[in-house]
A and B are shown apart, each in its own frame.
Chain A
Amino acid sequence: MASLDDLKKRISSVKSTQKITKAMKMVAAAKLRRAQESAERGRPYSEKMNNIILNLSSGVSDKEYAPKLLSGTGDDKVHLCVVLTADRGLCGGFNSNIIKKAKSYFQKISDSGKTLKIITVGSKGYDQLKRLYQNKIIENISFKESKNANYFDADKVGKIIIEKFENNEFDVCTIFYNQFKNVITQIPQEQQIIPLKTEENENKSSEENYEFEPDEDEILGNLLPKNISTQIFKAMLENSASEQGSRMSAMDNATRNAGEMVDKLTIEYNRSRQAAITKELIEIISGAESL
């Protein structure tokens, strides 16, 4: 059995860990609220963008002349995966969930003999993937300096992707991120952004006859790159809300576990103290009796 002194030290160290996790939980909770708000505020933009593109793309009659970002290169050989993770750890399964999802997708790609390229956004994803996929990672982007997800950063990522697409470096682009459902549930998502998957919505899209100024192709050509940035921005917003939510519940668990540990250690401490006292008493009594 550990000595009384050791137990005392352990109790105090667990207690100070508990203090840290508690503080982290509070911070995460405050940040979560902000992240959630901005995720919600950002939704109308991406929804509207989606709607417009849906309306536009249903208007494009000749798929062959449609912009490549919409219709794809016609090939399916090189896949680009953009994995969006956090820059910081200690947030439960947040990062590993995305990585797990991405890895199973990578496996599928390489099993079917296609080429895989990876862009990681956020340093945690890079750290976890570089061991297995070092030669596949073509870019690692991190926004450690920016406090909140902002559109400017998303636009940067979007521009990199589009540039690579225009240089014919890949055919299909998929992004991985966590969708924020609530504080305890975040769902890892894979979303294909190039070529754009439009959900065919027959009954809705057909009747609207828009007037376009300038023509459809030009609008689409201008809109699609923007849409990519928007999708990435949406993913980043969802991600940052998820990260904070995940961290909050992870830290909540840690705090609770630390509390349990303190309780257990305290009981052990009291028991061994009691045992020591009893032992001393027995020694005194048996000493007195022998006289």
Chain B
Amino acid sequence: MSEGFNIDIVNPEKSFLSKENVSEVVVPAYEGEMGILKDHIPIISFLKPGIIKVISGSEEHNFYVEDGIVEFKDNNLSILTSSIFDIKDVNKKHVSDEIQEAEKELNKDDLNDQKRFLLNHKVEVLKSLSIN
């Protein structure tokens, strides 16, 4: 029996990442960051904008997601998301474009609180990205 579990990240266009034997995954769940280890109980939750951290052994992989759903069952973690990118591949311009877009959106009047919260959060996460 292996030490870890399997992770599948899929977006509508393709399977983004599929990895076996992952020791820990940290996802930005709706109610706060959530670390998932092997033999976690079955869970379904949303994602909010944030960083998915995939840790296998000493390796660590980071992805930025905007929204999505996580499902964990029988040591299989599935993450469905329509917007994800690898932090290593991202360039500064793309991030700053996204920030601008989000800020523009924030200035609109017809936002409800939930949306405003999510957008604020998104800007925050993106800003922390570009510092690194």
Binding site for B on A (CB under 8 A): 38, 41-42, 44-46, 48-49, 51-52, 55-56, 150-151, 154-155, 208-214, 219, 222-223, 226, 230, 233
- By a CB distance below 8 angstroms, the chain A residues around B29 are 213
B123: Cβ under 8 A from any A Cβ: no
Smallest CB separation, A229 vs chain B (Å): 8
Chain B positions within 8 Å of A55 at CB level: 44
8 additional contacts, CB 8 Å, given A41-B13, A48-B10, A48-B78? A42-B12, A44-B15, A48-B8, A150-B13, A210-B42, A213-B30, A213-B31, A223-B69
Residues of A within 8 Å of B45, CB to CB, are 212-214, 219
A211: chain B residues at CB < 8 Å are 41-44
Contacts of A42 in B (CB 8 A): 12-14
Closest CB of chain B to A69's CB: distance in Å? Answer: 16
Q: Is the CB of B44 within 8 A of A56?
A: yes
In-complex Cβ contact of A213 among B11, B43, B82 (8 A): B43
Interface size band for B: 20 to 34
Give the interface SS of chain A, mostly helix, strand, loop or mixed: helix
**Chain B residues near A154 (CB, 8 Å)?**
12
Is B63 close to A, CB under 8 A? no
Residues in A neighbouring B71, C-beta threshold 8 A:
48, 51-52
B80 at the interface (CB under 8 A from A): yes
Q: Are B11 and A210 in contact (CB under 8 A)?
A: no
Check if A45 sits within 8 Å of B31, measured CB to CB. no
11 contacts between A and B (CB under 8 A): A38-B13, A46-B12, A48-B78, A49-B69, A210-B42, A212-B43, A213-B30, A213-B44, A214-B45, A219-B44, A219-B46
Q: Quick check: is B73 within 8 A (CB to CB) of the other chain?
A: yes
Within 8 A of A (CB), among B37-72: 41-46, 69, 71
- In the assembled complex, the CB of A44 is this many whole angstroms from the nearest CB of chain B, namely 5
**Nearest-Cβ distance from residue A201 to partner chain B, whole angstroms:** 15
Query: Once the chains are docked, how many angstroms separate the CA of A233 from the CA of B14?
Result: 12
- Which residues on A sit within 8 Å (CB–CB) of B14? 38, 41-42
Other-chain contact of A44, B10, B31, B43 (Cβ < 8 Å): B10
Does the CB pair A151–B42 fall under 8 Å? no
B15 touches A212 (CB 8 A): no
Q: Can you name the residue of chain B whose Cβ is closest to the Cβ of A152? A: B82
B residues near A155, Cβ cutoff 8 Å: 82
A233 contact from B12, B15, B41, Cβ within 8 A:
B12
B15 neighbours in A (Cβ, 8 Å): 41, 44-45
